[in-house]
Amino acid sequence: MNVLCIAGFLGSGKTTILLEVARSLTEAGSRVAVIENEIGEVGVDGGYVREQGLPVQEIFGGCICCTLQIGLVQTLETLTATHSPDWVLLEPTGLASPGDILGLLVDNVEDLDVLRVLTVVDAARWPMLLEVVEPLVTSQLQSADVVSVNKADEVSAEELESVMASVRSLTSADARVLAVSAAKGTGMRALLRAAP
Amino acid sequence: MTGGHTHEDDPGRHAHGGHEHLSHVPDAALPAVFAARAEVVLDPPAHPDELESLIAGFFRALLPALAAAGCTLVGHIKGTMAAPGHGDLAFHATDLEAPPALTGGVAGLAHDAVLTVNVIVFGVDEQALPALVRDAWADATRATTTWR
């Protein structure tokens, strides 16, 4: 089984990108399943993803990187038993630390072939996020294999270059950093090649 | 590690508060969270554009209220207005100054609808957040609303 964790701050566009990745993998012949984690005890994204025809398991009321770790492991086991997915796309809350999720999966899940992290950054809000929640958003970059700097169409070329430079300075040297606009489809082809 | 609430079909029922669910986030970065569902009876039934106006009015009431309550950052405000058999109108916002983005929509006249709303904001007292959201909804509509 392969797992792609699509992390990133609240409102950065994780669900939109998840659906594009799912569509791409499905068109390539893979069986895809989705895990949606939300902090509140009422989910929004799971229903929307399910409407797109994907099997979805939802985990509510906390964060799978800390207090709901067993919930994640159990949910992966359930999905494996019921859907035998080639790929599980995992969308944690916008407050999750993907590094903690990686450690959890490596320690507790057997038969993991590929485990990757795609972190989504909101280009339009990046300066403000660094000001208000810097430790959180920088931690979300540290385990990323690929970073999608999303909403690139909402900032100027100079602002985008500044965000890209900031993000590159916070990621590992071998992480790929790609500017995209998921809503408009710009840059998505390169992202879909790099992410899974 | 602790167990969690996992579910495939029944999406939970009550508002959430409590930072015990975010043990890895520093206290200074903790948001206020409110997620809830409500049954809404629209009488007279609403046209699709009236539902969009209703959601827009909700945000016109909610965003200034959040700002007045000390909101420093909108994590996200998202949700759906679902009319069984007629479709869903989805909305989301990440900015105190901008109207919500709307996607999807409801076809035909809607009488009964289910509002799902998920609000995560920074700088607001979590105990005060449910009333801010419910009051903003009440300001936006006279529809009979039962919060779950």
Query: Please, what are the averages of pLDDT over each run of 10 residues along chain A (196 residues)?
Result: 94 93 93 90 78 86 74 88 93 90 88 93 95 91 95 96 97 94 90 87
pLDDT band for B30, please (50, 70, 90 cuts).
confident
Please name the member of A9, A58, A69 whose beta carbon is closest to the beta carbon of B6.
A58
For residues B34-48, average pLDDT:
92
- Chain length of chain A: 196
pLDDT for res B27: 60
Asked if A11 and B74 come within 8 Å (Cβ–Cβ), the reply is yes
pLDDT for res B21: 54
pLDDT for res B26: 59
Distances (CA, A) of B54 to A181, B51, B87: 29, 5, 16
For residues B83-103, average pLDDT:
92
Show residues of chain B in contact with A67, CB under 8 Å.
2, 4, 20-23
> Is the pLDDT assigned to residue B33 strictly greater than 50?
yes
pLDDT for res B20: 52
Better pLDDT: B12 or B142:
B142
> Is the pLDDT assigned to residue B3 strictly greater than 60?
no
> Is the pLDDT assigned to residue B9 strictly greater than 50?
no
Better pLDDT: B117 or A41:
B117
Please name the member of B16, B29, B92 whose beta carbon is closest to the beta carbon of A40.
B16
Average pLDDT, chain B: 84
Show residues of chain A in contact with B12, CB under 8 Å.
40-43, 60-61
> Is the pLDDT assigned to residue B24 strictly greater than 90?
no
As a dihedral over the C-alpha atoms of residue B117, residue B122, residue B127, residue B129, rounded to 10 degrees, the angle is: -40
Alpha-carbon distance of B55 to B135, in angstroms, equals 14
Distances (CA, A) of B5 to A34, A57, B119: 16, 11, 19
pLDDT for res B28: 59
As a dihedral over the C-alpha atoms of residue B131, residue B136, residue B142, residue B147, rounded to 10 degrees, the angle is: -40
pLDDT for res A21: 94
